[in-house]
A and B are shown apart, each in its own frame.
Chain A
Amino acid sequence: MRNPQLNQHGELQHLLTLDGLPRDILTAILDTAAPFTEVAEREVKKLPLLRGKSVFNLFFENSTRTRTTFEIAAKRLSADVVNLNINTSSAAKGESLLDTVDNLCAMQADMFVVRHAASGAPMLIAQHLQNTGRDHIHVVNAGDGRHAHPTQGLLDMYTIRHFKQDFTNLTVAIVGDVLHSRVARSQIAALTTLGVPEVRVIGPKTLLPTEVEKLGVRVFHDMREGLKGVDVVMMLRLQNERMNGALLPTPQEYYKIWGLTAEKLALAKPDAIVMHPGPMNRGVEIDSAVADGTQAVILPQVTFGIAVRMAVMSMLGSHLAPDSTGTRIHA
């Protein structure tokens, strides 16, 4: 079976997960994002690539940063953007996910950006479109359950490449609540594919998935030990809203053991960068002084996120036309 994310020409058809996405596609997305970063400095911050196309932001779960950056990215590509906050609309009236999709297809949607609390929802939509012969409509996963958040993973890779250039000599640590984190899964998949020789995950046993080492990572339950000599520290948000039961003591106690402070960061390489996907819980997983410090690249991550999402949408959009199945020339 071919990768459901790629079309018969091996090009990106949907972006659902970074797990199993070939290295050349990952690299192509990062390469394509680079020139988009410059658009923000223009007087007219718009490119005509998706002119006349409709992008539907389907958010079944709340999000501010991701939805906004997707919206800005689509608008900078001149697409028409429709934001649907499904919590408050038809789903609440009992409409099924695929019925919602069919209705939006009837409104000539060209692309869906989907955020859903259930893992696999974007894949379900992509398969539905394929089964019904609507290959010209594309799906971008904007975060599904605990499964994947591929554009976050990509913008993290872009950020690392921007500051560290080469992936193949890095030690990268992912710290915190890996268990509930779709971001961590996407990060691990991308870092591994791009050839990072050592990926570490650091966290309490209760917040790491069982058999996490099978993803090809080194596991540390001691933060100080795990941070020694790393080039990149990727903090995760403590996902209070996804927790049932007593996985944790108190936020204060979590901070004492797992919070990133200047003293713990000093164990990493002196030029290590600190990343966080946001939203940050200051004083829980990260100390304010570190979040605002010189090693933090948290705000550049947000800015790069727009360029990376522009790259993904423009790569998908380059075969929006239903008749583009013929020979393709890359001039």
Chain B
Amino acid sequence: MNQLDAEALCRQLAEQIRPHVTPATALVGIYTGGLWLAERLHKALGIQPPLGAIDVSFYRDDYGSKGLHAKPQKTEIPFNVDGAHVILVDDVLYTGRTTRAALNELFDFGRPAAVELAVLVDRGSRELPIAARYCAHTLPEALPHDQSLELQRDAAGGFTLKLTQRA
């Protein structure tokens, strides 16, 4: 996975989205990696409505068995969702459950005109009927379930993708 250049993928993703940006387009990043990525895209694409952020902790479907995330963050949607063209941004698309949770949460703020999904990497293994409209890279083969892939941000704000083996 080290051959994946997160910075280059981020630029590609911005160019994929650019032709589809309208004045009604708003971005919502999913904590944590998706929000970093959304901050970057928000600036690169000159999006007008302020950036939104979603922490899906309270909407996860595994809350009953896994409990709450140690320190949930505040979901903030600082624009009017009604009629907006919302692009949800996440670093890695995997089972689709996070996206499902984010969609549910977003709709508690209003009725968007359209919602699309933008991700840096699709790692396969979908468990729900969810697909990304914008995706910078799709892995040729699904990653094993005991591996975790996520975006990292260094002190200077530079992006890398980190693959780790879970115990």
Binding site for B on A (CB under 8 A): 11, 28, 31-32, 34-35, 37-38, 42-44, 46-49, 314-315, 318-321, 324, 328-331
Q: Is the CB of B73 within 8 A of A319?
A: no
Mark each residue of chain B from 66 to 80: 1 if its CB lies under 8 Å from any CB of chain A, else 0: 111111111110000
Given A318-B63, A320-B64, A324-B65, are A330 and B108 also a contact pair (CB < 8 Å)?
Answer: no
Partner of B74, one of A38, A46, A329: A38
Q: Which residues of B contact A37 (CB under 8 A)?
A: 74
Main secondary structure of the interface of A (DSSP, over half): loop
Q: Is the CB of B66 within 8 A of A330?
A: yes
> Residue B83 at the A interface, CB < 8 A?
no
Mark each residue of chain B from 27 to 71: 1 if its CB lies under 8 Å from any CB of chain A, else 0: 000000000000000000000000000010111001111111111
In the bound complex, how far is the Cα of B121 from the Cα of A192, in angstroms?
A: 48
Q: Which residues of B contact A329 (CB under 8 A)?
A: 66
**Which residue of chain B has its CB nearest to the CB of A318?**
B67
Q: Which residues of B contact A319 (CB under 8 A)?
A: 67
Partner of B67, one of A44, A47, A328: A328
Main secondary structure of the interface of B (DSSP, over half): loop
Q: Is the CB of A34 within 8 A of B74?
A: yes
Q: Which residues of B contact A34 (CB under 8 A)?
A: 74
Given A43-B110, A44-B108, are A49 and B67 also a contact pair (CB < 8 Å)?
Answer: no
| B interface, size bucket | 20 to 34
- Closest Cβ of chain B to A211, distance in Å, is 38
- Closest Cβ of chain A to B160, distance in Å, is 21
In the bound complex, how far is the Cα of B67 from the Cα of A32, in angstroms?
A: 12
In the bound complex, how far is the Cα of B108 from the Cα of A143, in angstroms?
A: 33
Q: Which residues of B contact A47 (CB under 8 A)?
A: 58-59
Q: Is the CB of A321 within 8 A of B72?
A: no
Q: Is the CB of B66 within 8 A of A331?
A: yes
